[in-house]
Structure 1
Amino acid sequence: MRNKIAFSDHVEQMKWEDFHFDIMTVNTLPQIEDPEDIDNSFTFCDALLDAFKVATNKEVIKLLFISPVDIYNSKFYGIAYLESKEVFTAEIESTPLFKEWFTIIDERTRKKETNAAKVYFFGANSFSSQPISNFKDNQVFEKSGLFISDHIPNAFIAEKLAKEKADFIAPYIQLEAKSNFQKVVQLFVQLVHAKGLVIIPPKNNDAIYEEFEDEAGYPFPNIIKEFLTLHNGVQNSAIMGAEKILQEWKDWYRIYNDWTQEELLDTYSTNEGKTLLMYTTPYWIPFFDLQNGNFLAFDFAPDTKGSAGQIIRFGADQEIGYIQADRLDLFLESLMDVDGDIQDYEWFSSE
């Protein structure tokens, strides 16, 4: 198949005429039922992804769809990034149904813009566009190989990106955390009685710890194991049991794996210098659910002013992590303080 090439550094040097754009018919578009349907954009996106999957017999990680200024006299193009780390290029046949669909999508994305050629970026659950004029030096058509290389999905360079993240975080990893477990027990018992909490009885979590170690590549930390000998979560509260801890950690680990080090690191934000300026790391283990994707976590990769096992706040509403307490016992103590950072209504219900 001449319009499918293996991605390599050589692609960056290629020009538009070096790629082959054989005509491809999109047979995956349904008839339009409601031009005003808010889901039309994603229906169009999914149909194109499916069409390129059928044409290549490969999963499509990402698709660049290039539209012309005049849909009646110019051509549509697609550049697909395949699971096999290949790039597939094609001209899309401008059938009446295809033009009808595109007219709807173009009107919705244009807003107040005048007619303009655009590049659409399609992926699983993602849809965006921008005018071709946003790319300097007519990059799309004059420096096509560079344009294609600049927009490769992370999966194409997964090994390189993983190494960048591993190299960055390695100097900060501290798995051995100091803990006064006697003090933790004392404060936890006081907290349970003071707030009228109902403990879910602790259980054997060896299988969970083993699963964590297999995925994380490091042992489940002892200070959390100790804490989980006191409970397996607390009813109607933010305090999580072992299963929930593992699940939430895995969810955040997926985000960490999907993002690049550049995307994870926020050099524009500041904190106290105790936590890394990161959105998430595999060494933050959530144990306290503040809802809406926000958590408190044990931190085993603290910044230079921090300490292993410190309690940090991170999540969907924050660009970086922030220190909550230097130790677990201090955090438990703060939950009993009426003037503490976290109010009762934020973490438990007495109903």
Structure 2
Amino acid sequence: MNLQSIPYNNQLKKVKFKDIAFHIVSFEEIPKPYFKDNSHHKSATARHYKSYDTMGFRDLLLDQLSSSLKNKVLKLFIITPKSEGLPYDAFAYLSNKEIVGIQFENKGNFKLWMDLIFEKQYQKLEEYKNNGQFEKQAELNPNPQFMLTLGKGQFSQNWVNSGMLIDIKPYENTGAFLHKEAPKQYNEVKIAKEKQNYLKKYIKTNSDHLDEDHLQKLFVEYIDKKNLKPNAPKNNENIYKDFESLANYKFPQELKTLLTTHNGIENSGFLTAEHIVTEWKNWKEIYDDVNWMLIDLTGNSQPDGRKTVGMYTNPYWVPFYSTGEGNFIAIDYAPGSKGKSGQIIAFGADETKIRFIAENMIDFLQQLTAGNDVLNNGFEK
């Protein structure tokens, strides 16, 4: 389908609604509204609960539209008609940073889905009309429209041109509206730069020199004292190279030293080299994800004094020990202003505070061997 599109740039802000060329789209293959498959639930009540699969419809619509446009649709706005029989106006944000104006025909299974999705909004509107709300509040529009926003992880409805204090007006200053509401992926370079600029003042990938012989001796003592059974070590050079090609800094020497002694330890949180790199990649994927902006990464994570940085995750933490449920002990190469490169910290799914654990790996092993509750360092006493 060869459609006229609008490039995403600063000129977009000047575009008026009347300037946009809309293209009629009809999907005959859209199925009738169907129920979500709950057969996999353990609960009999849940298995028999019937709810329409609106998320399945969202994914199906986005996939079919992407196929028609020959470009992935990242985000889609659908606005209900101004009057009965008119089409649904829509705006599709494409992965090539262009926007297409679309009109969906007001008929068939597509209309059935729209009526179902906006059912509560229509009911609320009818309630307002019946209780005289529009007479009480003259600033309200008795004939508003509604807008559906679809995208990965997105499914929301809003009132349009309603006259309410918080209002959405896509027909006024349309270009500015489309520019403001663009998907985060359109600004991925800016988002990545914002994260890196925040982190760069903390990054120190050269930690203090550690006595490797002493470190290895301590580790052997720890294994013997705890009567642990390490798996035989193996050559991890390819794994280290893989890490270094992605991280742009050396695989921690402390971990290389420990990994000359083991390849995983039964009944212990120590990870193999492969698991270390896998977990590091998993957390880096979250950090790199455009949907995780800097404010999201820092908004709910607290520093431990000034020793650590309050951030959900970043690529300068190398997890080497699992405490379970997605939580880890890591070597920290982005310490706070009062911290040191190579210090040991705790972070993870349940760690709202990035806890300072130990000064370095030797300190960590000494406390672990002594039976200190080192894993819980940083919690309020």
286-295 or 259-268: which moved more? 259-268
Instruction: Choose the corresponding residue for 2:156, options 122, 128, 148.
Output: 128
Task: Report the Cα offset of residue 2 of structure 1.
Answer: 5.1
128-137 or 298-307: which moved more? 128-137
Instruction: Choose the corresponding residue for 1:78, options 78, 90, 109.
Output: 90
1:254 aligns with 2:285: yes
25-34 or 10-19: which moved more? 25-34
Instruction: Choose the corresponding residue for 1:145, options 170, 175, 185.
Output: 175
Name 2:261's counterpart in structure 1.
230
SS at match of 2:304: coil
1:288 aligns with 2:321: yes
Question: Contact (CA 8 Å) 2:215, 2:257: kept in 1 or not?
Answer: no
Question: Contact (CA 8 Å) 1:176, 1:221: kept in 2 or not?
Answer: no
Task: Report the Cα offset of residue 306 of structure 1.
Answer: 0.8
Name 1:346's counterpart in structure 2.
none
Name 2:53's counterpart in structure 1.
40
* Structure 2 gap segments, 5+ residues each: 37-48, 127-143, 377-381
Name 1:176's counterpart in structure 2.
206
Question: Contact (CA 8 Å) 1:280, 1:321: kept in 2 or not?
Answer: no
Task: Report the Cα offset of residue 16 of structure 1.
Answer: 2.2
* Structure 1 gap segments, 5+ residues each: 344-351
258-267 or 209-218: which moved more? 258-267
Q: CA RMSD in A?
A: 2.9
1:133-154 Cα deviation digits (max 9, x unpaired): 6884643221222222222223
Amino acid at match of 2:58: C
Change (3 A) 1:278 1:67: farther
Change (3 A) 1:273 1:139: farther
Q: How far apart, CA to CA, are the structure 2 residues paired with 1:268 and 1:300?
A: 17
1:100-148 Cα deviation digits (max 9, x unpaired): 22233334x7699557744333223443344446884643221222222
Question: Contact (CA 8 Å) 1:27, 1:51: kept in 2 or not?
Answer: no
SS at match of 1:54: helix
Instruction: Choose the corresponding residue for 1:57, options 70, 77, 81.
Output: 70
Percent identity of equivalent pairs: 33
Q: How far apart, CA to CA, are the structure 1 residues paired with 2:253 and 2:371?
A: 30
Change (3 A) 1:216 1:118: farther
Name 2:192's counterpart in structure 1.
162
Question: Contact (CA 8 Å) 2:316, 2:333: kept in 1 or not?
Answer: yes
Amino acid at match of 2:276: I
1:304 aligns with 2:334: no
1:91 aligns with 2:103: yes
SS at match of 2:170: helix
Amino acid at match of 2:215: V
Q: How far apart, CA to CA, are the structure 2 residues paired with 1:196 and 1:103?
A: 66
Select the structure of larger CA radius of gyration: 2
TM-score by length of 2: 0.79
Amino acid at match of 1:297: A
Task: Report the Cα offset of residue 337 of structure 1.
Answer: 5.3
Question: Contact (CA 8 Å) 1:139, 1:146: kept in 2 or not?
Answer: no
Name 2:41's counterpart in structure 1.
none
Task: Report the Cα offset of residue 57 of structure 1.
Answer: 0.6
Question: Contact (CA 8 Å) 2:202, 2:334: kept in 1 or not?
Answer: yes
